Amino acid sequence: MIRVLFVCLGNICRSPMAEAVFMHHVHAAGLASQIIADSAGTGHWHLGEPPHPGTMRILHARGIPYAHRARLITRHDLEHFDYILTMDEMNWQDVQELGPGRAKVMRLMEFAPHTGQTEVPDPYYSGRFEEVYHLVNEATQGLLEYIRREHGV
């Protein structure tokens, strides 16, 4: 099983959307028996909460099923997952500070260089959930292609 973890600050907006959209692509590719995903946050404010209504609205409008409760990333995740994808530089730094691990820690937007964006902007205050969807949709497709090449699946 190939394990993929998406990480943002609150684990209610960006990383849940990335997880859901990535798994949507995984299902469409017929790879759901080989690839699983989860998401986590680096901040504790929303632990146990469902995804933000802005994220759920986007997913619902596109027919992408999703359920999740916000949780914190732990050191165990660095061993358990094969890939950890961060949404912005602060998340990337926070994950580095957990210490070394087996997982490859990468910035999600590395997988969509054509967008010209290096981060997925936080929509919590801006409300720009459509922009988040556009970016994570592009980047999770690139990520899936990368994983398929690396694992020959």
* Contact criterion met (CB below 8 Å) for 40 and 10: no
Burial of 119 (0-12, 13-18, 19+ CB in 10 A): middle
Identify the residue among 4, 5, 6, 14 touching ligand 4NP (CB under 6 A): 14
Taking CB under 6 A as the rule, does residue 137 contact ligand 4NP? no
* Type of residue found at 133: Y
The least CB distance from residue 31 to ligand 4NP, in Å, is 26
Report residue 136 as tokens: 């994570």
Selecting among 13, 14, 38, 77, the annotated active-site residue is 14
Indicate the residue among 12 and 78 with the shorter CB distance to ligand 4NP.
12
The least CB distance from residue 122 to ligand 4NP, in Å, is 5
Instruction: Name the strand (E) or helix (H) holding 83.
Output: strand 83-86
Return left, alpha or beta for 120; rule: phi > 0 is left, psi -120 to 50 is alpha, else beta. beta
- What residues between 16 and 55 interact with ligand 4NP by CB under 6 A? 45-46
Identify the residue among 8, 59, 78, 108 touching ligand 4NP (CB under 6 A): 8
List residues binding ligand 4NP (CB under 6 A).
Answer: 8-14, 45-46, 122, 124
